[in-house]
Chains A and B, each alone.
Chain A
C-alpha cells in the first residue's frame, strides 16, 4: 500500500495534467477562430464585408472576390437536402417510435447506422454512378432538355440522403423522451394512435424538432467531398434545379492548390472557411440553447 501522502500527490499531480489537456479543448476552439480570422484579414482590409458577400463575380486574378454565387450555392443545396430529408426522416422516426414492432426496428436501426457510417466519398461515388446519369437521362429531358447531370439537384439529393440518419436518430431520441404517462393519458381519453402522436408527441417535441433541423443544417453546410463530386463546380448563382452550382466547401477544396499563386487568394479561401466556421458555430450554439430551454 503506497504511503498516504504520495497517493494524494500523485492524484493531484495527474489532475493538473488533465486540467491542462482539457483546457486545450477550449483553447483549440479559440485558436481555430483566431487563426482563420487572422488569415482572412488581408482580404477584409481591401474589400468591404458587404461587397464580399453580395458581389457575384469571382475572378481572383483580377482581384474580384464575389462570394455570392458560393453562398447561394451552399444555401440552395442545403435547402434541397432538407426538403428531401425532412419529411422522410420525420415520418420514419414517428413510425419507428410510435407504430412499429420490434422486428422492423431490428432491421431498420442497423441499416441507418450503416448509412451514417459510410464515408462521404462513397456517397460521391454513388452519386456519380447512379444519380448523375439518372438526372441526365431521365429527369432533365422532362424539364429542360439537356443536362450533364452534375447539377444542384444531384447535390441536393446526395446531401439529403447523407443527413437522413442523423435526423432520424435525433428525432427518435426526441420522440422517445416524451413521457409515456402523457401518451397513456391521451389514449385513455379516447384518442386514436395518430391523434396521440400528433397532439402529444409531436407537439411536445416541437422545440426539439427545430433544434434538430438547425443541427442537421449545420452538418449539411459543411459537407464537402460528396457535394463536390456531383454539383458541377461552376461559380454561378443557380437559377434552376438543373444548373450547376458551387458551394463554399467545394470552393475551398478545389482551389487550395492554387492558393499561393494569386495574391489574396489564400485570404479569400480562409475567409470562406471562416464563414463556414462561424455559421456552424452559431447553429450549434443555437440548437443547444433551444434544447436546454426545452
Chain B
C-alpha cells in the first residue's frame, strides 16, 4: 500500500508542476503585456525612430502576419484537400504509394522550420526572388501542407467505409463521392485549418529568411513584409527598455490570437466531431 501511496503522491506533484508551469507562462505574458500595451501600438505603423525609442506601433507586423497566413492557408487547402482525398478514396487501403506518401508527410511534418527556411531561401535565390511577401507565402505553404494533410488524415481515417461503399453501389463515380465525403469531414477540415493557421502565424525561423522585414503595411508581393513573431524578436533584442516593452505588448497580441484560434478549434471539434474526448 505504501508503494501505491508514494506513486500517487509523486504523480500529483508532477501534474501540479506541469499545471503550474502553464499558468506561470500565460500569466507572465499577460501581466507584462497588459502593462505595456497601448491602443496606439496595435493600430499604428512604426515611426522613424521606432526601434530606438520613438513612437508608433506594430500594425505592420500584425497586417503582414495575417496577410501571409491567410493567403498561404487558402492555397494550402487547395493543395492538401486533393492530396487527402486521393490518399483516402482513390488509393487502396494497403497501397504502397499511400504508405510512402504518409511516411513522407510525417517526416516533412517533423522537419524544423529553419530547414524549410534554408530550402526556400535557396529556391528563391535560384529563381531570382528576394525576401518578400511572396517568399513568406511560399514558405508558409510548404510548412502547413504536411500539417493540414496529417491532421485531416486523422479525421478521414475514422470515416465509415460503408458510406463509400453505398455511394459506389448507387453508381457514383469517385469524384461524385467526394462531395459526400467533404460534407462529412468538414468539421475535421475546419479544425485542421485552425491548427495549421496557429502553427503558421507563430513561425519565426522560416519567415526570417524568406519574408524579410519592413516598416510598412504589406503592399505588394515582391516587397519584404513584417511578421509578428519577427517583430517581437527584433524588439526584444533592442537595448532600449521602451522598445522591449513593445515586444511584450506584441507578444500579448500574438498569444491572444493563437489562444482564440486554439479555442475555436477545440470548440469545433467538440461541437461537430464524433467521439471526441
Contacts and interface: CB of A to CB of B under 8 A. Distances in A.
A219 interface: yes
A183 interface: no
A28 B11 contact: no
Contact of A119 (B13, B118, B201, B248): B201
A28 B204 CA distance: 21
Interface stretch (A13-21, A44-52, A59-67): A13-21
Contacts of A17: 82
B18 A270 contact: no
B236 A125 contact: yes
Contact of A224 (B25, B113, B122, B173): B113
A191 B198 CA distance: 44
B170 interface: no
Interface in A99-136: 99-100, 104-105, 107-115, 117-126, 128-130
A32 B29 contact: no
B261 interface: yes
Contacts of A110: 266
B119 A36 contact: yes
Interface residues of A, number: 85
Interface stretch (A140-148, A236-244, A248-256): A248-256
B8 A36 contact: no
B14 interface: yes
Contacts of A125: 29, 232, 236, 247-248, 251
Contact of B208 (A11, A124, A193, A256): A256
Contacts of A126: 25, 28-29
Interface of A: 7-8, 10-11, 14-15, 17-19, 21-22, 25-26, 28-29, 31-32, 35-36, 39, 87-89, 91-92, 94-96, 99-100, 104-105, 107-115, 117-126, 128-130, 161, 164, 168, 192-194, 197, 215, 218-219, 221-225, 229, 249, 252-253, 256, 269-270, 273, 276-277, 280-281, 283-285, 288
Given A25-B146, A118-B258, 15 more contacts: A8-B173, A25-B101, A25-B104, A35-B119, A92-B14, A100-B15, A117-B198, A118-B25, A118-B255, A121-B229, A125-B29, A125-B248, A129-B28, A192-B1, A225-B205
